[in-house]
Structure 1
Amino acid sequence: MPLYEIETESHIIITWADNEESAREVVADAYPQDDVLRLTKRPRDTWVISKGVLGLSTKTIDPCAVARECLNRSAGDKVNAIRLYRMETGSDLENARKAIESNMVLGW
């Protein structure tokens, strides 16, 4: 049975259904006041939500340790270290630059 992602104005519903019409019926039964804005048949039969994206991860990241590791991996190349830091942390360019430069000053 395929997995469908259904978006309404108020909800995102993930459900298994035999076909698109059955998926629409799920919304009509559960939320009759909602109109379907988007209905997508998922390419796989599982759904994954990253806890980090939702801000639910319990792992704390030491930005200085990450910056120092990025500087180490880039052999001190600031531009490459900034790129690595952005990939590791998801930081924007300005925050990554500040983290790398401040750790360069500290003698990573």
Structure 2
Amino acid sequence: MPLFEIETTAHIMIGWAENDIEARGFAHEHYPEEEITRVSKRPRDVWVISKRLLGLETVSDPCDTARECLARASGDKVHAIRLFMHETGSDLHEAQKMIETNMSLGW
């Protein structure tokens, strides 16, 4: 079954569907109030996110550290950013990027 990327006005979903119509149906079922802006069939059956494009290449293990900070902060983004800065010595911009990226990944 092909892997599709379905973008709406507020979300990007990755999922398997038999065809474009089924992929659109999936998006409409879960986010009926959002307009579908793009549906793309992925060339392979895997989704890859470049850590370099996200700016995560400078920290040795960003996900574990950021997720630990989010857990200790009970999901409070601002507190997690402060904890991340303290733990890693990162500046505000880098810490914010790391915490928000991990929040979007469903820490």
TM-score in terms of structure 2 length: 0.51
Tell me by how many angstroms 1:8 deviates. Answer: 1.0
d(CA) in 2 for partners of 1:53, 1:43: 20
Deviation track 1:62-91 (CA, whole Å, cap 9, x = no partner) reads xxxxxxxxxxxxxxxxxxxxxxxxxxxxxx
Tell me by how many angstroms 1:55 deviates. Answer: 2.1
Tell me by how many angstroms 1:40 deviates. Answer: 0.7
**What's 1:33 paired with?**
33
- Does the residue aligned with 2:27 lie in a helix, a strand or coil? helix
d(CA) in 2 for partners of 1:53, 1:17: 27
Structure 2 counterpart of 1:13, which letter? M
CA-based RMSD: 1.2
d(CA) in 2 for partners of 1:55, 1:25: 33
TM superposition outliers: structure 1 runs of 4+ over 6 Å = none
d(CA) in 1 for partners of 2:21, 2:6: 12
TM-score in terms of structure 1 length: 0.51
Gaps of 5+ in 1: 60-108
**What's 1:10 paired with?**
10
- Does the residue aligned with 2:49 lie in a helix, a strand or coil? coil
Tell me by how many angstroms 1:56 deviates. Answer: 2.5
Based on CA coordinates, which of the two structures has the bigger radius of gyration?
A: 1
**What's 1:64 paired with?**
none
Verify: 1:22 aligned to 2:16, yes or no.
no
d(CA) in 2 for partners of 1:54, 1:30: 27
**What's 1:54 paired with?**
54
Structure 1 counterpart of 2:10, which letter? S
Tell me by how many angstroms 1:29 deviates. Answer: 1.2
Structure 1 counterpart of 2:17, which letter? A
Deviation track 1:20-49 (CA, whole Å, cap 9, x = no partner) reads 111011101111111111111111111100
